Structure 1
Amino acid sequence: MSRKKAFLFIVLLGLVSLFADVTYEGARSIIGPFMKTLGASAAALGFAVGLGELTGYAFRLISGILSDKTRKYWLFTILGYAINLFAVPALAFAGNWQTALVLIIAERFGKALRTPARDVLLSFASEEVGMGKGFGIHEALDQIGAILGPLALTFALAFEKSYRFCFFILLIPALVAMVLLLTARITFPALQEMKKKKDSPVDRNLGKTYWFYLAIVSMVAFAFADFPIIAYHMKSFEVAKDFFVPATYSLAMAVDAVAALVFGHLFDKKGFVALAYAVLLSSFFPVLSFSNSFPLIFAGVILWGIGMGAQESIMRAVVAKIVPAEKRGFAYGMFFTVYGVFWFFGSWIMGTLYDINRFYLILFSFVIQFAAALLLLRMKRYEW
């Protein structure tokens, strides 16, 4: 694959993610207050979101192994996107929070099915343009959708449309994403046959570098409060009108997109230091995001967006750098599974801590993230 074709594929796959994110990130921006209207407590919300993420990450190990074994990367990608996307508009018909939980899990299951295979395809193309740049471009396009989705729902809520109406109209971008994905499949049918041209710069297997890195990433996942909990906090303290919640999430996604490009570029130049700086900055978001002041919450969400940008781009690029091509499906599957387990227990714990005293959540989140940033700085010795 030429550099030009590789770039084209990255952009096309990024457009798929753009419209997919309009769908499920739009839903994510209002799921917190929607669950509250269905009678869920903060602990129940933390459990629901965490269990959804656990499902979405845990199954990635299986789908990653199967995609490596069968080499059916496109099959897993297309089927996963279909489940992932069409579970969202079904939320319009959820009559209680338990039903909403089932659909949240279904949406995350679909993402689990397609993500390892999708990232392997993306890593093949990114070898031609730079891992940090390739994943950064994909994440930036992805986050444009994550901006547009919450913004669309912001206007819908501002015009006094219901949460159910918001979920239902997300069927439109879901259909567009599937059309673009099938276009990519037709245009690049044999992408999985690409071979690596360069040797892996650190390890040729899942050795100590991979496992040490995974341990640090797990700390970040364990202590990174998900946006629905922040949105729940905004709703509980009535710091702003309802339509400001998805608008704030849209801001976070905009920061995410910019951060992905900036830190992706720095990653290609500086390695692990770029990721360490991103985690260090984002570690301060809980101090601001769980305050009683909307301006402070607004500032905290900006730092939250920086953290998400790093997690969704650089953290994935590192795996492609330290693992050979033929093992990336398994490596991504293991990465996301462990990440998801820690995300689940962290979300549940932080939801419970919030119900007791939000100061405990703030302390828990900040200390662990800050420690993870310091450990990432130690990985400079493993630079390629």
Structure 2
Amino acid sequence: MDRPRREVPAASGPGTPDAGRQGSAGSRRPWGTVVAFGLVSLATDVVSDGARPLAGPLLAQLGASALLVGLVTGGAEAASQGLRLVFGPWADRTHRYWSFTIAGYALTAVCVPLLAAAPATGTAGLVLASVLIIGDRVGKAVRSPAKTVLLASAAKGVGRGRGFAVHKSLDLTGALLGPVIVAAVLAATGMLSAAFAVLAVPATAALALLLWLRRRVAGPGGGTVVDGGTGDGSIVDGGPVADGGATVVGSGTAGGEGAAPGPAPSLFTRDFLLFAVSAFFWSAGLVAFGVISYHLTTEADLPVAVVPLLYAGAMAAAVFGTLASGFLYDRVGGAVLLALPVLIAAVPVLAFSTGLVLILAGVAIWGAATGIQDSTVKALIADLVPEARQGSAYGVFAAFEGAGALAGGALYGALYSDSPALTAAVAALQLAALVLLLRTVRQARAA
């Protein structure tokens, strides 16, 4: 005789027993979910950011010009941001947040180690490297909106500024370790291919950890756990759990994969649109590190093995910028983001010089600006937009950032040899971003 199934309410708040084990992304132990996602991002950023500072030198080795490096690296960032306009709403419509998250991480785990093969493919190497560099960033576009919705749900319980800051600090720890690892491999072998190939190890670890986490954390919303009699009661984002036979059944919320969406609240508010347009302007001025690394190896005459170490220093600065801005955000709100255009305006003045001290300062400021853009900015989006539209909001917002990154890649490539014109163009873009940010902050505070 079949044993009767007993229904256990899904964990949905801080008072639910065993919520850390059976809860959703916003359960009683949200720090556990935040940290777990941070560890996945840490391992993935060892891969992606280990390769990122070598994009310029690799393309240069394969025969690319400064303009082509700017277009490829700028296009990669544009794909990373712009395609979220597709995948964010798609994740909201289907509620398959976990499916998009896993697919995006898998794409990065495949593309980056394959860069090791580019120098060995002859004349096709430049094309292959360009496709793989862009493919890595497409993976980020696939996963980022869905993962951020999961993370925003968990971070509500700890303060979104702090939650995103702690997650991003772990993420940036990986971005710091990756360049150190590839620098060590370069120093030992002198081969770019070996540096890319070794990144297959953390790529595999990231996917294994993500799949482990997938079985233990649901999507945002709720549901009912149908316990198969083992007492495990684990909740997942739809589908069975092998060791407990538990599935999530509908509760009228957008919790599991495939849940029926409800009426969608408005997304395009004035505050959100002002914020998105300001993001276009600051992204157009924030140079891709591939262009900086190209400058360091071709004009500043730094050894290629030193470039990943400078990138690691930038990631250390990004950790500081992330934590400082995140904790300040929970105290003073969006006003902390007014520092972002000011930091970005200083980057070309310093990073494209030939003096080592100025270059170090420029790289550090670039890192701090990148950290703020990738963490605290997302906290403000989550506070401006209803949860049911957050995947779409991150996608739309990233499309504005991606369009700015593409324009910025062309801008830096075209004006690379004319430093005064480049500095003036970036300053004008950041002035526009600052004005729009100021209006956004005032209106959001009034609301």
TM-score, structure 2 normalization? 0.81
What residue in structure 1 maps to residue 186 of structure 2?
157
Q: Cα offset for 1:41? A: 0.4
SS in 1 for 2:218: coil
The 5 A counterparts of 1:1-384 are: 1-2=13-14, 5-94=29-118, 95=121, 96-193=125-222, 205-354=267-416, 356-381=417-442, 382-383=444-445
Q: Which amino acid aligns with 1:376?
A: L
Specify the code of the residue in structure 2 equivalent to 1:156. V
1:152-204 Cα deviation digits (max 9, x unpaired): 111122224301111110001111111111111111134453879xxxxxx96
1:58 deviation in Å?
2.2
Residues 378 and 66 from structure 1, CA distance in 2 versus in 1: closer, same or farther, beyond 3 angstroms? closer
The 10-residue stretch of structure 1 (158-167 or 228-237) with the greater mean CA deviation from structure 2: 158-167
Identical columns (%): 36
| Equivalent position amino acid for 1:33 in 2 | P
Larger RCO of the pair (alpha carbons < 8 Å, separation 6+)? 1
Q: CA deviation at 1:283?
A: 2.1
Give me the whole-angstrom Cα distance separating, in 2, the residues matched to 1:164 and 1:359: 37
**Distance in 2 of aligned mates of 1:190 and 1:344:** 32
Which consecutive aligned stretches of 4+ in structure 1 deviate over 6 angstroms post-superposition?
none
Shift of 1:289: 0.5
Give the secondary structure class of the aligned counterpart of 2:64: coil
C-alpha distance in 1 between matches for 2:289 and 2:434: 21
Kindly state the Cα deviation for residue 343 of structure 1 after the two structures are TM-superposed.
Answer: 0.7
**Cα distance in structure 1, aligned partners of 2:389 and 2:280:** 20
Are the equivalent residues in 2 in contact too, given 1:116–1:329 (CA < 8 A)? Answer: yes
Say which is worse superposed, 46-55 or 18-27, in terms of deviation: 46-55
CA spacing shift, 1:177–1:329, aligned 2, 3 Å: same
Amino acid at match of 2:45: D
Code of the residue aligned with 1:317 in structure 2: it is A
- Number of aligned residues: 377
In structure 2, C-alpha distance between the alignment counterparts of 1:133 and 1:205, rounded to whole Å: 25
Change (3 A) 1:284 1:370: farther
1:298, distance to aligned residue in structure 2 (A): 0.3
1:23 offset after TM fit, Å? 0.1
Q: Structure 2 CA distance, aligned partners of 1:154 and 1:27?
A: 10
Name the CA distance, whole Å, in 2 between partners of 1:377 and 1:58: 24
CA RMSD between the two structures? 1.8
Question: Which one has a larger percent helix, Structure 1 or Structure 2?
Answer: 1
User: Does the 8 A contact of 1:239 with 1:293 survive in 2?
Assistant: no
Whole-angstrom distance in 2 between the partners of 1:353 and 1:243: 27
Letter in 2 for 1:339: E
Structure 2, unpaired ranges of 5+ = 1-12, 15-26, 224-252, 255-264
Which string of whole-angstrom CA distances, capped at 9 and with x for unpartnered residues, describes residues 336-368 of structure 1?
A: 1121112112112211211x4233222222332
Distance between the aligned counterparts of 2:379 and 2:366, measured in 1? 20
* Contact 2:81 2:401 (8 Å CA) reproduced: yes
CA distance in 2, matches of 1:22, 1:151: 9
Aligned-pair CA distance for 1:62: 1.4
Query: Given the two structures, how large is their TM-score scaled by the length of structure 1?
Result: 0.94
Partner Cα separation in structure 2 for residue 342 and residue 278 of structure 1: 15
Q: Report the 3-state secondary structure (helix = DSSP H, G, I; strand = E; otherwise coil) of the residue aligned with 2:215.
A: helix
Question: What residue identity is the alignment partner of 2:179?
Answer: P
In structure 1, C-alpha distance between the alignment counterparts of 2:295 and 2:219, rounded to whole Å: 47
Residue 236 of structure 1, CA deviation: 1.2
The residue aligned with 1:200 is: none
CA distance in 2, matches of 1:310, 1:206: 23
What is the one-letter code of the residue matched to 2:99?
Answer: L
8 Å contact 1:80–1:111 — kept in the other structure? Answer: yes
Distance in 2 of aligned mates of 1:162 and 1:361: 33
One-letter amino acid matched to 1:168:
A
Bigger radius of gyration, 1 or 2? 2
CA contact (8 A) 1:288 1:296 kept: yes
* Separation of aligned partners in 2, 1:272 and 1:9: 25
- Which residue in 1 is equivalent to 2:248? none
Deviations 1:312-333 (A, max 9, x none): 0011111100000001111111
- Aligned to 1:187, what secondary structure does the other structure show? coil
Structure 1 residue 31: deviation in Å? 0.8
